Amino acid sequence: MSHVLLVNNERDADDMGWIPYLRRALERAQPGIEVTVIHHSQLNEETVQKIAPTHTVLYGRVTHHWSMEEILSSYSSELEYLRHVTAPTLGICAGHQLLGIANGSGMDKMIPCDDIDIVESGFIRIFEDNKCPLFQGLESPFFCNCMHRDEIKRIPEGFERVAYGDVCQIHGIQKKGSPVFGLQFHPEWANEQFGAGQTILKNYLNL
């Protein structure tokens, strides 16, 4: 049975954001799963070795916008960990962006605009690009929910693109030769009509 380390990337340690929703989605994907939640400030190699998870999921951030300056200062321990990780790891939305930044990608607004933030939201069609074990059993394109204004701007060093959309060009990445993935979209927001996200979580936990 899987033991998931769930990393909360909200600014404040007592802010759970959408962590409870993701936790329920993981428990639906694999009933009986064990989940341990920590704040991103606690994430380092020593902590991971002590918890000994089979899988790690990086999640948030939804309560506050952030800047690159804050990321580089307040998330430095997580970025350092993500530069070297090779164990099963899945970054979702902000976790995907942190994975990209840690490995040399820039991050900025998906669509440059000075006056307003343009957000990609709702169930968006996603195209598979390069074969990826997360998408086993799905036909391309599939639909998953999105809620983001930022995106990583280039494929990180040592990674390949595994998914893209009509607007966001890097919706999924995988570290070459390792079960380390980033998804800009939200697989945890699956429903009866659009169930691809649940399949993705199941595939990840079965790695």
What predicted TM-score, i.e. pTM, was given to this entire model?
0.95
**120 pLDDT band (50/70/90 cuts)?**
confident
Alpha helix locations (H) across 90-184?
94-102
Beta strand pairing status for 34-39 and 3-8? Answer: parallel
Q: What is the DSSP letter of 137?
A: T
Q: What region does 52 belong to: left with phi over 0, alpha with psi -120 to 50, or beta?
A: left
* CA 86 – CA 84 distance, rounded (Å): 7
pLDDT at residue 94 greater than cutoff 90: yes
What b-and-e string marks burial along 116-154, b requiring 16 or more CB atoms within 10 Å of the CB? Answer: eeeebeebbebebbeebebbeebeebbbbbbbbbbbbee
* Partners of 175 in the β-ladder: 159
Q: How far is CA 207 from the centre of its chain?
A: 16
Q: Give residue 119's pLDDT.
A: 79
Average pLDDT taken over every residue of the chain: 94
Contact 161, 183 (CB under 8 A): no
* CA 203 – CA 207 distance, rounded (Å): 6
pLDDT at residue 174 greater than cutoff 80: yes
pLDDT at residue 49 greater than cutoff 90: yes
pLDDT at residue 110 greater than cutoff 80: no
* CA 126 – CA 71 distance, rounded (Å): 27
Give the helix/strand (H/E) hosting 151. strand 150-152
Q: What region does 22 belong to: left with phi over 0, alpha with psi -120 to 50, or beta?
A: alpha
**149 pLDDT band (50/70/90 cuts)?**
confident
pLDDT at residue 62 greater than cutoff 90: no
What Rg do the C-alpha atoms of the chain give, in angstroms?
A: 16
* CA 168 – CA 148 distance, rounded (Å): 10
